Structure formats: C-alpha cells, structure tokens
Chains A and B, each alone.
Chain A
Amino acid sequence: MSTAHVSLTLRGRSVNKGILIKDGQIPFSPNSGMTRYDVGLLGSSSVDGNLDVVHVAIVDGSVVIAPCEETAQRELVLVQQYRNGCGAKRWPSFSVVFGPETRELSKASTSHGSGGEMWSLVSVPLGWAENIARQFIDERDYPGQTISYTPDFDLAKMESDVPRALFIAFQGNEESARQFMARVAALPAAVLDEHIVLVCGRDRVRRHLEEVSGNPEFFGGADPNRVVGYIAEVHFGNVNQPSVGGESLGTLAEAMKKAGLA
C-alpha cells in the first residue's frame, strides 16, 4: 500500500505547488554556485510536467515518482537550501534541519562558485513546508537561518509585542529590541529634530540620536535606517516624511523648496 504525497517546492519563504519534471528528471538548476561535477539525481519520472500529487518509490537508492489522484497523506517536498552568491550576499542563507519527522530521499548540490545550493527531496508530514517557510525571515542584512520544524511556531510569534521592524533590525534578538524600545521611550521628545530623524542620512541620524540620548550605544548595533521609522512612530506619531500640501518631499525637493526653486 503506497502513500499519496502532495508535492511541493520549498525555497526560503516560498512554497509552490508541484515539483517540476523535465526530461524524465527533477532538474537541478541552482541560482548560486557552480555544478562542475556530477551533482546527484533528485528523482525521476516517466511523466514530464508539474506533478501535484504523487506516489513515491525507492529503487537502489534512486527516487521514482508517479502521478496519482488520491488524497494526500504526506508531503513530498523539494527543499532548495541556499547560500547566496555574489551580488546577493547581504540576503540570508536558507537551510533546514531534517528532524525525525523527515525522511530524506535524495539530494543534489553545487560544487564550486560563489554561494552554493543543496536541494533535497524529503517525505514529511502535511503542513511541514508551510511551517518552515513561515519561520524564515528573508530580509536584507538579516543573518542566515537554519530552521527546524516547529508545529507551534505561529502561536509563539503572535504573542510577541516587539514590532517586526525592530525584530528584524536586531536580527531576531528580542531582548535587544526591547532594550532599544525603552531607550526610545526615554528620549526627550522636545529636543528631537524631526527633519534630521526623518529626512537626513544614516550618519547624521546616528549622531543626532546618540547626542540627544547621551548614549553612544543608543542603536545597540542596529542600522539607524531600519529603526528610524519606529522612533518616528513613537515621537512624531507617523512614519512619513515631512509633507507640504499633502505631498511627500525628498531631501532634494525640500532643499529646492527652501531655496524658492520649487
């Protein structure tokens, strides 16, 4: 008796229905790294196309999948783990821990080049791929993540009172984010320069807020540009740039306005 699997492709936060079969194989086509050497076979099928629900067979270590039309009881997930290469290295890497709920069937990987990818075909319980995808934070400058299947993940995150922007700015460190929130609340609002906070560049914002707070570690390692929106929300009640006549102005536009050129 074989188990029907719903097939999914998981890459970072993205979960797509189906696994692509091309020329009788699951093609290995990484975005990062090079495939100089024999990469490994992920799986084969006698039918080309995007297969949604399948039966899975193992023969001499190789995976064969066949389409079916039954109700799926498990997931067959093509997990595309990656380390970004040249041009995208500030974006987080994505890797997954295959726990006891997982049966790893096959894998293929890059061998050289900038960045790298390892794709695995796994048989897992229903809801596994979506659970992994929801945990992944795909924000620039956020560190790479190795994610485990955590069935109660969503509940834990919903209870957090840390704004998501701060959570990301402090790279998932809620304690640092809370300390920053306390420092922001203690800022003397009357001394804050709205123009500098909302319009000026990163360095001037940093100098102004460190001066006003009297704390050279005011930002606690976070990028000022990533947390300035939170400061504006607390002290100015908005996150928009100063506006005239309802229209938002950039730095150059505002300078031209002051000079009477616009």
Chain B
Amino acid sequence: MKLYKIGFPGESPVLVELEKDGEPLSEIVLGERGRGRTEKTIPIIGDGPEVRAKKSDEGDIVLVRGVYESETRCLAIINATGAYSKGRRYEIHDAVGVMEIAAGIFAFGDAGRCGNGEEVLAIIEPEAEFRLDGKYSSTWYAWMNGSWRVETPEKRQARLALEKVSNGGGEWL
C-alpha cells in the first residue's frame, strides 16, 4: 500500500517518501506531545517500496515494508485538526470505507483545553470517501482507482447531480 498524508483540512494528499536523505524512514508520528495531547509513534520495519499495517500481539500497529502490487487500498495519515477555529469539530466527517487503526491528538491552549482534534492513520478502501472541515471551507476526499479526488462541496454536488440526471433521475421543469 502506498502511504499518503493529508497535512490539514483542504490540503491535497501527498505521497509519503519512505526514504529520507538516503535513509529509510523508521517511524511516523501522529499527534503531538503535551498536556491534553497524545503523541503516537508508529514504527516502520522491513524493506520495500510500500507498506502494510500489522497489529502486534500487544495490539500495537507496525508498518511493514514490502512489495504489495495487488493492493488496491492505501494508507493515509489524516490530520483533521488544522488551524484553530472556534466551535469547529476537528474530526473526519461522513466517512465511508475509512478504517482508523491509530490516532494521535492535537490540542489548542497550553493545557489543551481550547479544543482538540485527531490525526489518524487509516486504511482507505477503494471508493472510500470522507470530508474534512477547515476554518473557512470543507473539502471532500475520495480514493478512486488508485488516485485521490479532492473536491469542494459545490463541485461534488454538481458532479453527483449531473450523474443522477444522466442516469434518468431528477424532475424536469
């Protein structure tokens, strides 16, 4: 599986390089350290261009490198928190086909009491879909045929409406 990262709501998914300065990436970190926060470190072991997630006997997640060409799913690090905005729910919305396997917590305020949100590592199934709300706008993400589709709510609504009408749906005025 390829590993992608969505750094904040609204950002397009970026492929995570499993090699950094010629050295293999040894871990990924979710969330942050501090009061009201949770930092989660996921080790990466083995050798190969892709990774798969494996749960240890103790329940911890480990990413194992290898060649998984037949895999149609992908892994994604999804930061649903982004920047502070009052009253916003920092989470993944309306998710279909998204299986969270590990999570860390970001928070705002010294004691982490000004709101907090998650950063998750998730297995993304083919045709999975979810929405992230940013400070000023929302963004829909879909994993379709080995690539990401990133849309504004209006663009998605337009596409769905056109699909339904072309399939004979809707009411003509």
Contact = CB atoms under 8 A, between A and B. Distances in A.
Interface of A: 1-3, 5, 23-25, 36-41, 43-46, 55-60, 62-64, 66, 74, 103, 108, 123
Interface in B159-173: 159-162, 164-166, 169-173
Interface string B131-143: 0000011100000
B154 A39 contact: yes
A56 B161 contact: no
A118 B162 CA distance: 24
B158 A41 contact: yes
Given A58-B170, A59-B170, A38 B153 contact: yes
Given A57-B165, A59-B164, A60-B164, A41 B173 contact: no
A57 B170 contact: yes
A2 B164 contact: no
B137 A24 contact: no
A120 to B, nearest CB: 15
Contacts of B137: 36-38
A25 B136 contact: no
B173 A62 contact: no
8 contacts: A3-B173, A24-B155, A25-B158, A41-B158, A41-B161, A44-B161, A58-B173, A63-B161
Interface string B67-90: 000000000000000000000000
A60 B158 contact: no
A25 B161 contact: no
Contacts of B159: 24, 44
Contacts of A62: 157-158, 160-161
- In the complex, which of the residues B154, B155, B164, B169 has the most CB atoms of chain A within 10 Å of its own CB atom? B154
A66 B165 CA distance: 10
B66 to A, nearest CB: 40
A38 B138 contact: yes
Contact of A24 (B136, B162, B165, B172): B162
A74 B172 CA distance: 13
A257 to B, nearest CB: 61
Contact of A59 (B136, B154, B161): B161
B152 interface: yes
A38 B172 CA distance: 26
B160 A60 contact: yes
A23 B154 CA distance: 11
Contacts of A1: 172
A60 B167 CA distance: 14
A5 B155 contact: no
A161 B112 CA distance: 71
